[in-house]
C-alpha cells in the first residue's frame, strides 16, 4: 500500500523542516501521526501505516516539556532501524496546536491535536445547550490557531437580520459562527461568501 503525503497535508514547508532535521541521518522518512497510545504511535507514511515507538532524544525533550511529545496530526521524522524497530525521532514544527492546559501552578499542558486547518465547535440541541461549555470550547479553539467554525441550535444565536448579516460579512474570515450547517453544497458556497 502506498500513500501520497500531500493528501495528508504535506507541503514544501514541512519538506524543508524535514530536510533540515535529517541532514546526514540515514533511513529516515516523514510520517503523520494518526493515533497516539502511551508512547507508541500509529503513523501514516508513504509505504502505509506503521507503529513507531518514541526515540530517546524525544523522550529526553519531553521530560523538560511535555508538549514536545507527538500527538494526532503531528508530522514526525520516522527512522527504520536494521533490527526492524521503527522510532519517532523528532516532531516537525507545528503550525497549530490544540493544547489543554493543566490546572494549578504548573505552566505546561497536553497537546490534543496538531496542524489543524479548521476547528469546529458543535453544540447539540438536546439536552439543553451548556453555554459554559460552548465558551470553554470556543476559547480553546480560538487559542489553538486554526480557522474556527461554530455550529449551534437557534436557541443560542438569534436569527440573522439584514443589518447583522452585513456586520457578519465584514467580520474577519478566520471567525465564522453560524446557527446550523448548510445542508447542500450550494448552501455552503452561499455561506462562505
User: Does 128 score more than 90 pLDDT?
Assistant: no
- Say if residue 134 is in the same domain as residue 84: no
pLDDT given for residue 185 in this prediction? 44
In a domain, 146, yes or no: yes
Domain boundary, last residue among 60, 95, 130: 95
Report if residue 184 sits inside a domain: yes
pLDDT of res. 51:
96
Residues 16 and 80 in one domain: yes
Same domain, 69 and 143: no
Q: Do 87 and 145 belong to one domain?
A: no
Domain of 56, CATH number, reads 2.40.50.140
102-119 pLDDT, tens digit per residue, is: 776 666 778 889 998 888
Q: What is the mean pLDDT of residues 67-86?
A: 94
Residues 81 and 128 in one domain: no
Q: Quick one: 136 and 82 in the same domain? A: no
DSSP state string for 115-184: S-SEEEEE--SSS---HHHHHHHHHHHHHH-SEEEEE--TTTSPPPPHHHHHHHHTS-TTEEEESS--SS
- Asked if residue 123 and residue 46 are part of one domain, the reply reads no
- The pLDDT tens digits of the residues spanning 134-162 come to 788 888 887 887 777 766 544 444 443 34
Judge if 29 and 77 occupy the same domain.
yes
174 and 128 part of one domain:
yes
Residues 25 and 86 in one domain: yes
Residue 139 is assigned to a structural domain of this protein: yes
In a domain, 122, yes or no: yes
d(CA 27, CA 31): 13
- Give residue 134's domain range: 118-192
pTM > 0.85: no
* 58 three-state secondary structure: helix
My answer on whether 37 and 79 are in the same domain is yes
Pick the more confident residue, 7 or 104.
Answer: 7
Q: Is 180 inside a domain boundary?
A: yes
Is pLDDT above 70 for 188? no
Of the candidates 153, 150, 151, which has an alpha carbon nearest to the alpha carbon of residue 127? 153
Q: How many domains does the chain have?
A: 2
**Average pLDDT of span 53-67:** 90
Amino acid at each position: 500500500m502506498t500513500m501520497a503525503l500531500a493528501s495528508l497535508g504535506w507541503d514544501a514547508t514541512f519538506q524543508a523542516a524535514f530536510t533540515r532535521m535529517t541532514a546526514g541521518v540515514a533511513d529516515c522518512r516523514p510520517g503523520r501521526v494518526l493515533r497516539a497510545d502511551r508512547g507508541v504511535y500509529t503513523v501514516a507514511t508513504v509505504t502505509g501505516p506503521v507503529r513507531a515507538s518514541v526515540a530517546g532524544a524525544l523522550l529526553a525533550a519531553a521530560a523538560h516539556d511535555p508538549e514536545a511529545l507527538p500527538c494526532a496530526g503531528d508530522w514526525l521524522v520516522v527512522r527504520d532501524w536494521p533490527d526492524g524497530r521503527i522510532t519517532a525521532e523528532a516532531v516537525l514544527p507545528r503550525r497549530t496546536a490544540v493544547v489543554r492546559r493543566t490546572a494549578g501552578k504548573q505552566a505546561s499542558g497536553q497537546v490534543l491535536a496538531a496542524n489543524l486547518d479548521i476547528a469546529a465547535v458543535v453544540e447539540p440541541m438536546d439536552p439543553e445547550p451548556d453555554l459554559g461549555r460552548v465558551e470553554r470550547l470556543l476559547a480553546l479553539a480560538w487559542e489553538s490557531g486554526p480557522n474556527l467554525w461554530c455550529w449551534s441550535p437557534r436557541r443560542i444565536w438569534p436569527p440573522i437580520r439584514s443589518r447583522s448579516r452585513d456586520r457578519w460579512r465584514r467580520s474577519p474570515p478566520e471567525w465564522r459562527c453560524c446557527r446550523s450547517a448548510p445542508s447542500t453544497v450550494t448552501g455552503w458556497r452561499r455561506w462562505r461568501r
